[in-house]
Structure 1
Amino acid sequence: MRKVMIALALVGAASPVAAQVVTREVKTADYEFSYAYPAAAGRIAGLKAWLDADRSRIQAKAARDGVAARREARQSGYPYHRYSFDKTWKVVTDTPRFLSLSGDSYDFTGGAHGSPASHGLVWDKAAGRRLDPKAVFTSLPAFQTAIRIDYCARLKTEQVKRNQGDLSSMNACPPLKDLTVLLGSTNGRAIDRIGLIADPYVAGSYAEGAYEVTLPVTRAILGAVKPQYRGAFAVRG
């Protein structure tokens, strides 16, 4: 019989926006699955519905794939290494206009290692709908133009550090379409910083891990924000 555990856990009680996490964990002979999101997201009906649907969709796929892989291993006579998937959403910031979340996931389907990935999500309180963080900008080219020089310079500094100065192994500065974008705030009132995550293989090898760069919102970045969202942003510095 499948064992399902649903729990509420306190995480960072000093931070009201991330005080609780709703977690579902499943473990069977075929697969392991874990999905969590903050209670702040669970209190918004529309966002909760999307998160629960996302959880159900991913769990169903993990179950199907695990059953099929275990059957194939048994038929082929080799050991089965149980498939696993976990995804955790956390609050980046909660401003009057936006609830911004970041997501981390890890998918293991055999092989030498699993696949980590990052995700970004924004709930627009005024419109009552979910947005990809990139959707608040007029276009990807406009946003990329506004950040590219600063982003690439900061990324290169981190690449040099991780590669101990060996420039020959460094990847080129990746395009914005390959990055996860997070909307952040230093004061909880307006979006004044942008997080840019390059997952493994995007800006470096798997061993290098993910590269995360945080940029302050500049006038150039603000100019790339769609007019209907500009009031929710603030130039920093």
Structure 2
Amino acid sequence: MQRITWLLVPALLLAGCDALSGRGETAPPDAPARSDSGAAPNPSLPVPVGGAREVSEQTDTFLFDYSYPQEAGEIPALALWLDGRMDEKRQRLATEAARGSARARSNGFPFNSYSSETAWEVVSNLPDWLSMSATLSSYEGGAHPNYGFDTMVWDKQGDAPIEPIAFFTSPEALDEALGERLCEALNMEREQRRGIPVDPQSDDIFDTCVMPDETNLLLGSTNGEFFDRIGIQIAPYLAGPYSEGSYEFTFEVDDQIRDIVRPEYAAAFQPPE
């Protein structure tokens, strides 16, 4: 299951990545797309015809937006997977919006429409892998909407999604290889935002280090051949108060990180000999 973390602003693409430029099976063209849970999409939503997809639906109780790029839509099994997640999000939003509207009406309160927006983007497109990130936003009452991100890597040969952390031998191994560098970069950025250095003796939760396995990871590439960058996205309330927003960093994949890549994925992190 993928890690989803809420943050203040949409996730940035990895600097220098070519994004700036359950195993699925391909269904026949007339077959309804199905999610991992087996739920068929809402028939009221447009049927994709390949390539990029952008869906927008507005009702009396909710506003729903969902999109993914052409690179994803051209992979049938991936489009099927994304459409399944789209339908799950839409069905959940419709259900919660109906409940919220009913509660507001019964209590004599005004009701503000709920909303959900998901926008998938390409982080890196390699011969065997498609690394993607999503910016998320939702509103289900309250003072303000929530913002967040999602991430996954699509295995083009296996037609299946893989969580970025699964490319490494263990979360603890990644913490050991990258944790100190992340902590140093985080404290430097904290100092810039706060105007004062972080006290190394502080036990305040907003002054402590955040380990890579607590964050969302993006696998990026500057060459379009193999992964050579790791992106880190840290949500509010994890490294600082909500007002500080999210923290995002990019690190080079070096030998220390390559040493903890699972053997079956080693070729994805280094050039062929």
Q: What TM-score comes out, normalization by structure 1 length? A: 0.87
1:187 match: secondary structure: coil
- Decide whether aligned partners of structure 1 residues 17 and 193 sit closer, same or farther in structure 2, where only a CA change above 3 A counts: closer
Extract unaligned runs of 5+ from structure 2.
1-16, 22-50
Q: Which residue of 2 aligns with 1:65?
A: 96
Q: Which moved more, 1:56-65 or 1:163-172?
A: 163-172
Q: How many Å separate the matches in 1 of 2:18 and 2:182?
A: 31
Q: Name which structure has the greater RCO, CA cutoff 8 Å, separation 6+.
A: 2
Q: How many Å separate the matches in 1 of 2:59 and 2:207?
A: 40
Q: How many Å separate the matches in 2 of 1:194 and 1:16?
A: 13
Deviations 1:161-181 (A, max 9, x none): 111226377432223332110
The answer to whether the 8 A contact 2:178-2:212 is kept is no
2:55 match: secondary structure: strand
The answer to whether the 8 A contact 2:182-2:211 is kept is no
- The equivalent position to 2:248 in structure 1, one of 195, 199, 212, is 212
Q: Which residue of 1 aligns with 2:69?
A: 38
What aligned pairs does 1:1-237 form with structure 2 within 5 A after superposition?
Answer: 21-165=52-196, 167=198, 170-234=206-270
The answer to whether the 8 A contact 2:169-2:261 is kept is yes
2:104 match: secondary structure: helix
1:61 match: secondary structure: helix
Deviations 1:4-61 (A, max 9, x none): xxxxxxxxxxx99789741111111111111111110011111111100000001100
Q: Which moved more, 1:97-106 or 1:168-177?
A: 168-177
1:142 match: secondary structure: helix
Q: How many Å separate the matches in 2 of 1:208 and 1:90?
A: 25
The alpha carbon displacement at 1:117 in A equals: 1.4
Extract unaligned runs of 5+ from structure 1.
1-14
Q: How many Å separate the matches in 1 of 2:64 and 2:208?
A: 35
Partner amino acid for 2:243? A
Q: How many Å separate the matches in 2 of 1:18 and 1:57?
A: 29
Partner amino acid for 1:37? Y
Aligned residues: percent identity? 33
Q: How many Å separate the matches in 2 of 1:116 and 1:27?
A: 20
The alpha carbon displacement at 1:223 in A equals: 0.8
Structure number with higher helix proportion: 1
1:207 match: secondary structure: helix
The answer to whether the 8 A contact 2:58-2:64 is kept is yes
Q: Which residue of 2 aligns with 1:3?
A: none
Aligned residues: 221
The alpha carbon displacement at 1:202 in A equals: 1.6
RMSD of aligned Cα (Å): 2.0
